[in-house]
Structure 1
Amino acid sequence: MLSGLAGALFNPAVRTYLAQEAGDRKAEAFALFQVFATTGALLGPLLGGLLLLGGFRATALTAAALFALLTVAQAAVLPARPVPPPAGTVLGDWREAAADRRFAAFALATAGLYGLESQLYLLLPHAVREATGRPGAVGLLFVVGTLAGLLGQLRLTRRLTARGGGRGRWIAAGLALAGIGFLPPLLTAGAGEPHPARLVPVLAGVLLLYAGLMTAQPFVMELVPAFGRPDLTGTRYGLFHAVTGVAAAGIGVGVGAAMDAAARGGPAWLPYASCAALGLVSAAAVALLHRRRALPEPPVPAPAPEGPRPRSEAR
């Protein structure tokens, strides 16, 4: 419960800070934020596994100390910014944000992205264990994601931003790609005895899922504050995470029920096909909003500053 409260305080605040500090380069800022997040998703379990060799108490105290250190570091290093007094009440702000039908439709349409991302902790680890017979092989999921993020996230976001065409176009493409990522594991689901070769389609699907997340997430985060006045940015992020979080939990329940049905003798492909269909339906919903011009378009970002020229060119 305390971790959930911390997330409720942290997530909207850090995204609001990024959105305000990044100016017209929000997508690039959120792409960089995503790189660090996926890196932490890999390093956290690895370091936690090592710390658990010394017992749970040592692990918990080390984690608490790291959070305390980060709190002091952020308070000391992050530049302070004056916050104007709120124009209305908290309930009034929530009512205004929730009454925006375009924003509500966008949050519901993109909820599938977070439901699919949550399968990195439910369905896809199950696929890895089923393919290899080794629970420890699950770590490969996060290795693939971290390498993909480090090597491609910023480059991909910059290239798509430069190409233009509307943010909704790239969000829909990312959702479709994330859904398609569940088709390769479907091909070997329930194929019998574990074999290393069965891991290949699972990791291929994970790579496609991460490619979809890398494509869509920075632009989703960029669009959230663009739906209205800037002083409701934090409220919109809070409401967006509340909607997508509840939807992702419901999706997790549905995927878990499909997994249970497969374990009781039903079709082994059912949970994977459900996730693929979810990605494609969500992509179609975002594409429809984009076609109807229901999504705001942020300002075109200024070009990134160039580094120093080579000496030969300077001469």
Structure 2
Amino acid sequence: MRRREIWGTLSGPARFLVVNQFGVWLGFFLVVPLLATRGTVELGISSAAVGLVLGWRTFSQQGLMFGAGLFADRIGLRAALLIGSAARSVSLVMLAFAEQLWSLLVAITVFGLAGSLIAPSTRAYLGVAAGERRSEAFALFNSASVLGSAIGPLIAVAASPLGFRTTCLLAAVVFTAMAVGQLRVLPPAPTPTAPALKQAVLAILRSRRLLRFSASASGQYAVWNGAFLLLPLEATRLTGYAAVGTGTVFVLIAVTTVALQVRLLVLQRRLGTIRAAAAGVALTAVGFGAVVATRAGWPEDVVPGGGQLVPIGLLLVGTVVIAAGNALAVPPIQDLTAALAPPGQVAAAYGINGLFAGTVSAVVVPLVGRVDDLGQASGQRWTAPALVCLVALVSALAVRLMYRNADS
């Protein structure tokens, strides 16, 4: 089935949520990549303080996603999504005018809280609105996410002469437009059916398969974040140009995802949902194997006179494989999360999934960065991508072993 055919089978709300996801990531990446420069260069804040701001953003979103999911199940998914989008618009206006560390922290806290509401409510609503087409809908949903994350930084770079404040206000307009669309397109259904708060929390904590799956699949999120850390660094090292290297990586990831996402649904059906999730994460490990090769130095020895062409080629191939693996893994992971949710608690299930993913990523990605620093200093530059490769393999194995006797 082609992308256009899948699009035609989705309901109006499901289609809008795919477009909405593109807007969410576009608006996010219009601003977040510029925060480091805004803090250190324009406001004179130390790199450590900017790191605090960025780390707090991750914690305030991923760390609170479970609670936000419980809240969304109780008040209704559309209401939670509207509140989250409105709060994200407000936070962007606050960021535009924040000029001190404390005001940046306040603005980024609201920014993260908004994201903690948007993420689980959007996924839960899409899972309900798509019905039997859930896997197909999440495939388009993931394509929209990656496309927005690729186009956002490019627009941010193009708009940089206008200044950080203007870019923030532009992103606020994007989220405001999404909120208006949510109000006009999305019906208030599905009606909240979540139990009382105590029972809701206990139901999630007693869902052992959901908790085990969320823990097993959390490596996928950490690996994806590791890709966004290491791939631009390696592309910059090989080309000598940060803008060219980073832009190439983002565009290649987007093109690969959009080109292969729907085609990979055929493979997902052949493998089964569980095997497809595990295979996708394992495929990202293969991609990082190519990055290990670019840093190990052996291509120059094997291909005399190859210069930088061989490692650049390996990096491009590795980037494509990583993007393809992520495109294969994400839809079944999202599908399984919804399938394992207790009745009436789909948003909470996505929330606990996000909590595991964010926690593991918060540990793994800084560790990868530290290993990369040590590897650069010692000449063992391959160690950081090798660590990401190992995390991917462990996660893939955990997902597969968890369901080794399941009928997928």
Q: CA deviation at 1:196?
A: 4.7
Q: For structure 1, list consecutive stretches of 5 or more residues without a partner in the other structure.
A: 298-315
Rate the CA distance shift 1:82–1:122 in 2: closer, same or farther, 3 A. closer
Does 2:206 match 1:93? no
Deviations 1:278-304 (A, max 9, x none): 1111111111112133xx85xxxxxxx
Contact residue 293 and residue 311 of structure 2 kept, 8 A: no
- Alignment-derived partner of residue 310 in structure 1: none
Count of aligned positions: 291
Measured in 2, the distance between the counterparts of 1:260 and 1:133 equals 18
Moved over 3 A (4+): 194-197
Does 2:308 match 1:223? no
- Alignment-derived partner of residue 302 in structure 1: none
- Alignment-derived partner of residue 116 in structure 1: 223
Greater Cα shift, 197-206 or 12-21: 197-206
Deviations 1:165-221 (A, max 9, x none): 4311111111110111111121121649x8354321111111111111111100000
Deviations 1:31-87 (A, max 9, x none): 010111111111111111111111112111111112111111121122331414532
Measured in 2, the distance between the counterparts of 1:153 and 1:201 equals 22
Q: CA deviation at 1:242?
A: 0.8
Q: CA deviation at 1:233?
A: 0.6
Residue among 139, 142, 151 paired with 2:250: 142
Residue among 292, 295, 300 paired with 1:189: 295
- Alignment-derived partner of residue 191 in structure 2: 83
Measured in 2, the distance between the counterparts of 1:113 and 1:87 equals 31
Measured in 2, the distance between the counterparts of 1:178 and 1:214 equals 10
Deviations 1:216-257 (A, max 9, x none): 100000000211433011110111101111111111021012
Contact residue 207 and residue 342 of structure 2 kept, 8 A: no
Contact residue 204 and residue 342 of structure 2 kept, 8 A: no
Deviations 1:115-148 (A, max 9, x none): 1100232111111111111101211111111111
Measured in 2, the distance between the counterparts of 1:62 and 1:84 equals 33
Does 2:368 match 1:255? yes
Measured in 1, the distance between the counterparts of 2:395 and 2:227 equals 18
The 5 A counterparts of 1:21-32 are 21-32=129-140
For the aligned residues, what is the CA RMSD? 1.8
- Alignment-derived partner of residue 232 in structure 2: 125
Residue among 58, 62, 85 paired with 2:170: 62
Measured in 2, the distance between the counterparts of 1:41 and 1:60 equals 16
Measured in 2, the distance between the counterparts of 1:243 and 1:162 equals 27
Measured in 1, the distance between the counterparts of 2:214 and 2:269 equals 25
Does 2:319 match 1:206? yes
Contact residue 285 and residue 388 of structure 2 kept, 8 A: yes
Contact residue 180 and residue 279 of structure 1 kept, 8 A: no
Measured in 1, the distance between the counterparts of 2:320 and 2:187 equals 37
**Normalization by structure 1: what TM-score?**
0.87
Does 2:145 match 1:37? yes
> Which letter does structure 2 place at the counterpart of 1:173?
A
Does 2:277 match 1:171? yes
Contact residue 132 and residue 196 of structure 1 kept, 8 A: no
Secondary structure, counterpart of 2:196 in structure 1: coil
Measured in 1, the distance between the counterparts of 2:205 and 2:286 equals 31
Measured in 1, the distance between the counterparts of 2:143 and 2:137 equals 10
Contact residue 131 and residue 196 of structure 1 kept, 8 A: no
Measured in 2, the distance between the counterparts of 1:285 and 1:148 equals 26
Secondary structure, counterpart of 2:394 in structure 1: helix
Does 2:182 match 1:74? yes
Deviations 1:9-35 (A, max 9, x none): 000000000000111211100001011
Measured in 1, the distance between the counterparts of 2:369 and 2:269 equals 40
Greater Cα shift, 33-42 or 221-230: 221-230
Contact residue 150 and residue 250 of structure 2 kept, 8 A: yes
Contact residue 193 and residue 344 of structure 2 kept, 8 A: no
- Alignment-derived partner of residue 159 in structure 2: 51
Measured in 2, the distance between the counterparts of 1:135 and 1:257 equals 20
- Alignment-derived partner of residue 263 in structure 2: 155
Q: CA deviation at 1:161?
A: 4.3
Contact residue 210 and residue 340 of structure 2 kept, 8 A: yes
Measured in 2, the distance between the counterparts of 1:259 and 1:228 equals 38
